[in-house]
Amino acid sequence: MDEVPERNEATDDGAVRVEAPARLHFGFLDLHGGLGRRFGSIGLAIDEPALALTARRSARGTVEGPEADRVRGYLQAAAAHLGCGTDVAMTVERVIPAHAGFGSGTQLALSVAAALARLNRSPFAADAFADSLDRGNRSGVGLCAFTTGGLIVDGGRGPDGGPPPVIARLPYPEAWRIVLILDSSMAGVHGTREVEAFRDLPRFPEAEAAEICRITLMQVLPAVALSEPRGFGSGITRIQDLIGDHFAPHQGGRYASPAVAQALAAAAAQGVPGYGQSSWGPTGFALVPSEAEARALVTSLDRGGPLRFLIARGRNSGASITGPN
């Protein structure tokens, strides 16, 4: 995977600043694994929610802001990989909601590592840090979202255990919008529960894995290339149905949040091109062709309660890393 492009802007106080996008995970390509590679993913970098942190040299080695404990762990892992110290002051200004389907852990880990590498004038490539940071175990979408953004397809984990290779990356149409449906009252499956789910679920049907791969190659990717929202949305919805039903025993149904499920049903009744749940959720998404349609959909769905709505764009660039070179 390519290195994150160098940016030469300097901050006023010698600090490094990293801003990183969230990602949506639309589904796995092949949970069957009969061809030797397992998982494979399709996903999208988005501009909201996003992460921002700064780092500067400091003998005290402090971490401030939300997710401080996780940041300390990633800082230690990144320092061990680089062979350097942790004599930095790191401030987390804004985080991506954790365990909500946005890939927050990967973006936080890579942001910490990228900041430390820049401070030490060391090269940074996301896949080179994957093992050290325990990232990319099932999906390469988060790694590529950090590096280049866009709509991403990876080829899954192979026998060598390396990070999943990116096999397609397309720019997401600028006019399209994603209505995000967030349920802050619950968290998606993660940690030990996630490991147990992958262990206990039955083997994914080979025919359904073949259908997902066909939809991805012959419907979803061409629709993005040609800016055809209906083809893209219906393809993503079908992938979501197949994957959601497989994971239903561990998340309580096709969608983790009953409130999100109701909102998605209402969006479907209005004829949105596509919809589903990112990763284990609980965040849902509705795919629409324009800002005006996104605003109208939010107005029709927002009835208070536990749900919050955001309108996001696809992000066709990776993380921004600025600071001294």
Q: Is the pLDDT of residue 7 over 60?
A: no
Which tens digit of pLDDT belongs to each residue from 155-190? Answer: 998 888 788 999 999 999 999 999 999 998 887 766
As a whole number, mean pLDDT of residues 302-325 equals 92
The answer to whether residue 7 sits within a structural domain is no
- With bands split at pLDDT 50, 70 and 90, how would you rate the model's confidence at 127? confident
User: How many structural domains is the chain composed of?
Assistant: 1
Which tens digit of pLDDT belongs to each residue from 29-41? Answer: 999 999 999 999 9
The pLDDT assigned to 193 comes to: 73
The pLDDT assigned to 131 comes to: 84
The pLDDT assigned to 135 comes to: 81
The answer to whether residue 183 sits within a structural domain is yes
The residue range of the domain holding 269 is 16-322
Whichever domain contains 187, its CATH number is 3.30.230.120
- DSSP collapsed to 3 states, the chain: CCCCCCCCCCCCCCCEEEEEEEEEEEEEEECCCCCCCEEEEEEEEEEEEEEEEEEEECCCCCEECCCHHHHHHHHHHHHHHHCCCCCEEEEEEECCCCCCCCCHHHHHHHHHHHHHHHHCCCCCCHHHHHHHHCCCCCCCHHHHHHHCCCEEEECCECCCCCCCCEEEEECCCCCCEEEEEEECCCCCCCCHHHHHHHHHCCCCCHHHHHHHHHHHHHHHHHHHHCCCHHHHHHHHHHHHHHHHHHHHHHHCCCCCCHHHHHHHHHHHHCCCCEEEECCCCCCEEEEECCHHHHHHHHHHHCCCCCEEEEEECECCCCCEEECCC
Higher pLDDT, 128 or 50: 50
Which tens digit of pLDDT belongs to each residue from 128-159? Answer: 888 888 886 678 899 999 999 999 999 998 88
Angle at 108 between CA 15 and CA 194, to 5 degrees: 170
The answer to whether residue 10 sits within a structural domain is no
The answer to whether residue 4 sits within a structural domain is no
The pLDDT assigned to 17 comes to: 97
The answer to whether residue 225 sits within a structural domain is yes
The answer to whether residue 165 sits within a structural domain is yes
The answer to whether residue 29 sits within a structural domain is yes
Q: Determine what percent of the chain is predicted with pLDDT higher than 90.
A: 77
The answer to whether residue 291 sits within a structural domain is yes
As a whole number, mean pLDDT of residues 90-97 equals 96
